[in-house]
Structure 1
Amino acid sequence: MRLHRLSMTAFGPFADETAIDFDDLSGDGLFLLHGPTGAGKTSVLDAVAFALFGRVPGARHDARRLHSDHAAPESVPEVMLEATIAGRRLRITRSPDHHRPKKRGAGTTKVNARATLVYLDGSGPDLTRLVDIGEAVTRLLGMSADQFFQVVLLPQGEFARFLRANSDEREELLERLFDTERFGDLEDWLRDRARESASALGERTSVLDRIAGQIVALGGVAAPADPDMDWAQGCLESARAEAVRLHDDVTSAQAALDRAQAAHEEGGRLVELRRRGDEARSRLDRLAAGAENVARAADSLAAARRAAPVIVVADELDRATAACSAAARGASAARTALGELPEGAALCDADPDELSTAIERWTAESGRWEPLARRAEQRPELVAAVERMEAEIGVAEKAIDELRVGLDAAPGRREDAVRALDAAVEARAQVLRLQAERDRVAAIGVALADRVTVTTALAETDTRLLSARESHASAREHHLDVRERRLAGMAAELAGQLEDGMPCGVCGSRAHPEPAAGGAEAVGKDDEEAAARAEHRAAADRTREENARATLVERRAHLDVTIGTMTDDQFDAERTQLAAKLEAAQRSAERVPELSDTITAIDAETEKLRGRLTENRSLLAARRERVEGLREDVATLDAEIAEATGGRIGVAERRAELGDLCRRATTLRTAREEEAQSRSRRADIRGQLEERSVAADFVDSAGRADVDAVRMAAASRAQIADWEALIQRAAAARAGADETLADPAVAAACAAEAVDLPALAAGLTDARATRDDVAGRHAVVAARVGGLEDYVAQFWAAADGLAPARARHEELQGLAELVAGRGQNSRRMALRSYVLAARLEEVLVAASARLHQMSAGRYEFVHSDAAGIRGRRGGLGIEVRDEYTGAVRATTTLSGGETFFASLALALGLADVVSAEAGGRILDTIFIDEGFGTLDPDALDLVMRVLDDLRAGGRVVGVVSHVDELRARIPAQLEVLRGEAGSRVHLHGPVGVS
């Protein structure tokens, strides 16, 4: 990630729009952000964080006061950041939740947060939804907001606290930076498995009780208090004894049934023997009636067997004769085909040797043509290559023309862009003038509104002042009247004060002969004082209203000076006109970076077009040279072919002609050989036919084979099979009948008395019913025994499985406690903490390299996985090894400066590891906030060397500090200045201040 530009408006201490160009600031790779305490140095980092994630680090986010107190209530707080993240340049604009005054009435209205993300390089769509923008930033950075706050904005004091924290506090930070959720899921999974194991153990106990109940129900026995294997086996043995007794009863009934069955079977056997004898005599009678048909079948079968070997040869002779005819036709066709060719006509009647000689001659001639034929086959490719090269030449010429057109147009485009850039730069200056004018007009607008309010208040004050003057005059007249009346009745008042025997306050006499008497309207001192107080109150009211009127008159005079001669209509028109001008100027000014990039792009494109023009010209020359060479190759090949063939026929045509001659001559030679072989075979088969006909006595009167007689005597396999079957059936039937009648048992049965088979069957039925009844009762008991055997076996299995289940539960329970950091875990380290410890080791390895350099080779980090005190979890301890003493020390023993560069090394190491875990993305920009004031000059040199290494690696490092010595060491500086109207920034560099 690399920052380019940051703009803040009404954000934190920055009331007006404040812009920071990081490209100018970070040219050296190292810059200083400094200013007095409270000026807003950290607020610059907050603005970067807010632009990216919509929140700021730490407790400042919880306060939710991002709107600047220095800005007008109606102003909109906004932050704009341009940055390159993961190679994609984008601009993010955000405005937080804030309140603005209501347009009507008193109070405020909440304005919801809004944001936009624009890909300046066109690599993605513009986004406006807060969720989409947050996901896009997190995906591009490869880290969350918490990770970014720790590894990019190295915060004030947090890594010193992290360095000295205990394992629990350190674990809280590491969990925010590294994803250990899956290991927590594993802890939960083991805990759930342990719970399931406990439930399964309870289920096994329940199953054992349920099986015992089933044994009680099936065996008809009482349930014991604590069923065990002896009890279950006793129930089974009792049922087995009853089954043995019933089995003996079944055996007796089965013996009676066997005897009845034997008697019934013997009666049935005698009846069957008598039936067989009667059937044998009937069969002999039927055989005598069909004897003539059997004799004819025997004669036909004998003749067919003699003709069988002869008919095979006769059929083979027919096939050989057909083959001779086919071979003759093939030879004739091959002769005709060869005669169709001029060079083959003379060989139509040649013998096979002559044909072989001609074939060899033609084959040799075809081989001599092969090299030239291969070259001739390349001619189409050469011609096609010439055509392709000519087409490519045309394309190259067209491309050169287009490049010339582009180069001719480039100067004009650049001049237009330069003019537009000059106008945009002028617009940037105009923006400042228009903003000042806008502020002046806005002040007039406020004054116009205030004048209306003041005028209304002045009218109301005049009314009150008139009333106050009238009230004061009335009170004064009343006071004077009361005083006059009191003076008039003063004698009566003094007489009222006289007491008998007391001296008069006027004359001193103790005698009061005629004291004056007061009238009905006489008033006293209290009345006069009350009237005086009323006059004073009325005078105070009059003075207050007069002062209020004077204040309003003075305020209206100031407002008149501010407003001048402008009316409300003129104000509205001028404000609208200024807003339009300012908006147009701002739009034009915003195009400065774009137009600068456009000019750079035009220059780059022009150079690219020139390079491509040179390249295309070289390519065109090479292609022209190549096409001339190809044309010469085609002409040379054509000349060779013409010289070889004399122009009469092509190479391919002559080779095809020779191949056709070879094929047809070979076909004729093969056909004549096959014809001779078929004639010889036919003669051999004819001799075999004569021999077999004589041997089978199938010859005519001349002693030659009588094929017609053979075919008449021959029979099909089915007919022969029928004759054989008929003869065999007759012989078998006669033999069977004779054998049956010769059997002594059959003869005895035929001579014996008839058997009462139904009576024997009734006795058998009674014996079977008795046996079935006893067997049924035995089956019931046997089924009970079988059920008990199953339940007892289940009881055994359940009892045997209970102990392993209990052992497995104890194992799972112990493992769950182990990964949770309890039980036998001596380190008190949970699995999640163990993984974090591995991450911490990686961090310490990366941090040790920088700590070793910053401490001049004295210190390096050491990871401690020891358990905490009082049973606390361990595994996340950090210590340092002092190479001067060889001792491993606690981090709390480090001095202030040592603590700072140890914290800085730890922060940088953590940034490296988190960056690597985020997919290896390079964090081009990091900020280091405070802590340099604790370093002596030598230590500061070592730390600056590390920062230089970071800068040399391509990073931009921003140091946030108010240490004076850093101003001399770091030329590029961004100074934050504090003022009553808000903070502002100044960029100091080697060339001055901006």
Structure 2
Amino acid sequence: MRPVKLIMSAFGSYAGRTEIDFTEIPNGLFLITGDTGAGKTTIFDAITYALYDRTSGGTRDGNMMRSQYADEGTDTYVEYTFIYQKKQYKILRNPEYMRLGKRKYADGSLRYVKETPKVELTLPDGSVFKGKKRETDQKIVEITGLDADQFTQISMIAQGEFLKLLLAESKERKKIFSRIFQTRFYYRIQEELKKQAVQLYVKLEQNLQEMKLEMARTEYPVCENGKETELSRKWKEVSGQDIPDRDRISEILKEIIGQGSRLEKACKKEADGAQVLLEDKNRLLKEAELLDQLFDSYGQVLSHLKEKTAEKAKYELMKEQIQSGKSAERVRTEEKRYLEEEKRLTELKTQDHSLQKKLQECRQLLQELTENQKEAVKEKTEKEIVLTEKKVRIQDAILQYESINKKQETLNKLAEEIKKYLNHARIIKEKNEILQNKNEEIIEFLKQHEDVDICINECRNKKQQTEEKMRQYKELDRQENRKEQLKEDCERAKKEAECEQKNYEHAWAEYEMKYQKFLKEQAGILALTLEAGQPCPVCGSREHPQITLLSDEAPTQAEVESAKEERDRKEKTRDIKVAAFRECLAGYQAAQEICQTLQMNIKDAPEDGVKTNWKKIMQNLGQTFAETEEQLKQLEQISEKCKALKKNQEQIAEQSVELERKERETDQCLTESKLVYTKVQAEYQTAKEKLPYETIEEAEKHLAQTVGALEQLRKNYETVTRRLTEIQNKEKELEGRSKTVKASALQSQKEAEKKKLRYEQVMKAQGFADEESYHRKCMKETELEEAERWTEAYQREVQELEANRKLLEQQLKGKEKKDIAQIKQEMKEASEVLEQIRREYMRLHNINEKNREIRDNLRRNFEKNSGLQNQYEIIGNLSKTANGNLSGSAKLDFETYIQRQYFRQIIRAANKRLIRMTSGEFILQCRDVEKLGSQGQAGLELDVYHMATDTIRDVKTLSGGESFMAALSMALGLSDIVQNTAGAIHLDTMFIDEGFGSLDDASRDQAIRVLNDLADKDRLVGIISHVNELKEQIDHKLVVKKTDKGSSVSWSV
């Protein structure tokens, strides 16, 4: 990268626009000289700021570089033009600062606005890179191939940077190389290997604990040959080893499982025999219960037959009543027919009487209506002619009233039009005045807010930057809260897991204690069954001199089983809590990494990481954001209002022209309306004097009365005629209906006589002497049906009982009842024996199943342990090697090892120039690994080798001049190596700030010769110094002068 032009405006000590043209020095060595504080280093800062938005020393940012000498109206910016790989680029960057606004406040006072930081990158084709500030900064790094740290180490070596690399401790030098050579990747490899090794070690320990817990769960089946004591001793011995013996454990566990299986099979066979005996007893019980039920049923049948014999007389009487009831039912049918016909005859006679009465009334009314019709015809003929003539006269008069009313309506409309036109003229004038006033207000408002768009852009940029920072801090705060919560969850989960582990150990110890006591008391239980002279089932002896007594505190088998179940529950609970703790721990570690990454990504974040500082920053940012948002909202409202007012101006002009046109049209229409109004008014007065009535309403009232009288005459005549016709028709209808009813009554009387005769004949045929005897035998239909159902049910039940009696007598022939209570007692005893055997079988079965499960779990644990051990041997050794933790070797980690290779290359490149500067007096060398010892953070120590004395000493023993030459050589060597390792990076320019004042004349000459060689025909080297002797040794000089009005520069060749 070769500088072409640097322009500084109100930057640092430069008040106005200062331009430095580097094309005046095509190549070689040049000097930037001037008094102390004149602004030499500011040139260095300006180039670094333009490229990376920071100064060369890193102590000041761009926001602090606003010149104190600048006028309030001068903008602060840096414009840097450079050539890289034969392509020209231009960067324009300005910091955040307060400048004088273009508008003043309403009271005339000055208004200051904040200029937002911006950067603009012009590409070789003349186009401007499109991207936000962060994207543009990244693009500049991509073009140069260097970040800010690398640039200040190899291209622009600032004050104090010389000795930083030379005299730094190994730990500090490691940080420097990590930034320059990007070796953080190798550190992450170290950490990942360490993390994996720790995880494998934890898994191995967990697996070992799981195996010990599994072995502790093993149970021993009780047998009678005494081997369980030997097995118990062997198992306790092997399970108590720190490192379990897989073969020995498998062998003993196999023997325990085999012994348990044999006892389980013997107990199963015994349980099968007891089951067969119980089934036999159950069969006998069912047979006895069935026989007992048959005897009970036979007794019930005999009892029911006796009851039915007692009801036989009732049955015979009920049958006789049913027979006579059915005979009476046949007579009742004929009686019903006769009574219905009698009822119909009575109804017909009543109906005929009513018709005769109505017919007499109708004939009397017909006579009255005939007289009324004659009178109505006479009245209609006399009055109709007079009323018709009067109607015609009134209608002619009404036509004249309609004509004059139309003229009146025309006059009213013309008066309204004249009034409307006068009002329109007044409104048009008022609107025109309002438009003129509104136009003047718009002009004044637009003049006051002419730069509102510029203010909006400034405000939007500030809002965007604040919002991004708020989002970063909010996310960091959220993740920190999440991390704290996870930490609390981890601590709580850890305590719970430890508590459950103690609970499990307590339950396990409780179970073991009870189980051992239970085993010890088996001898006492067996002793209770011994008899004198009978052999002991264990040793076979017939003499029992000292019998073991049963302890009062001996636990029962149920208590042992309960303790075992409690132990298993505690174990499961413990496993769940341990798994929950591991999950919480993994989440907490992940949250820590996220928080670290977020904090590194936030620019200017507090390094102490105290949340109160974040909250205060977020509070300030929130306040700034709210103020900016409110300001932006107001500005946008003003901008929208300005746009709307400009459109209103155009509309006002158009409306003014339209109002003038409407005013002319209104005046013309007003004149025409007045002329027409005068003419129509004269015609109206002439016509009104010729009318017979005062008003048309009065004429219409007389017409309505006349028409009403005619209509009433017609209605009266029609009413009388219609009523007469109706009565005549009704008379004919009544006469016809009377004839029909009389004929029906005669026929009904004949039918009633026939049905009465039939009724009397049927009653005698059914055996009834008269109606009284017939009515006594009558039964209701429901009573008859109920009697028939009862007799049928009685007969059916008697038949069923006789059949059941015969069947039961046949089944019980030659049989007797059995003792069911005795059979149930025998069955209960057999069931208790079976249940006792089954409990023993289930106990043995559960022990065997559990031991098999333990065997399978241990097999998997041993296989898992083998795999984990192999992995840990590999990863553990890699981790120790990468992190420098191998015993007996130097504490040299992987990242330091890689940096050491770069360090050796830098030293070799530095010694090429240092030999020339010191005339071969001494060189630099990296301290050998053998001399590092086992101290921490070692590997990048720097020593000085004196060629004349063949001695080695620490680099810190060099004098000031020697240190400067060594530091300059190191800086130049670092520049060479960074260019070589960075691929396509090629540096055409280097700046060196100060340090030559500590050299004597000979050393300074040597250093200048080295730099001259470095600044060949293709490279430019600039030295920033105030040493006067350099002015004579270097031809090209950029002279910096300081005045009361700021700094200035000029070339001197």
TM range (shorter): 0.3 to 0.5
Give the structure-2-normalised TM-score. Answer: 0.40
Give the structure-1-normalised TM-score. Answer: 0.43
